[in-house]
Amino acid sequence: MIQEEERYTDPLDAAAMDSMNAVHRRLQEMKSQPADPRDPDTDDTGNRYCLDCGVLIPANRVAAVQAVTCVHCAQIIERRQKSFRSDMSSSLVYRLPTDEGDE
């Protein structure tokens, strides 16, 4: 992130830096929050297990995204969510107003 003493005189450079800093802060916030709000299944030695299938979750995955599910189960969940969103959006009917007085 930009240091306080570093300032750009060009407004476009300053705006770009502000935008980059905002993205950086948001990414840091997202990384610090667990992807799944459920409590992790952790043993006494710190190993974390998938809440859906019980497989050991690699430590690098846990460190990267605070995972509580393995990659396979996370992909299934994401596919279901994506499918649900696309089903919901395709079921919406859009009617545009016409010259015949429909609103």
pLDDT in tens, 11-67: 888 888 999 999 999 888 877 766 667 888 899 999 999 999 999 999 999 988 888
Residue-by-residue DSSP string for 49-86: E-TTT-PEEPHHHHHHH--SS-HHHHHHHHHHHHHHHH
Residue 10 lies inside a defined structural domain of this protein: no
Query: In the predicted model, is pLDDT for residue 4 greater than 50?
Result: no
Which residue is associated with the tokens 């007085």? Answer: 101
Residue range of the domain that includes 60: 34-88
Is the CB of residue 23 less than 8 Å from the CB of residue 31?
Answer: no
pTM greater than the 0.85 cutoff:
no
Is 67 within the bounds of a domain?
yes
User: Is residue 24 domain-resident?
Assistant: no
The reply to whether 40 falls in a domain is yes
Q: What is the pLDDT of residues 68-99, one digit of tens each?
A: 999 999 999 989 888 876 665 555 555 566 66
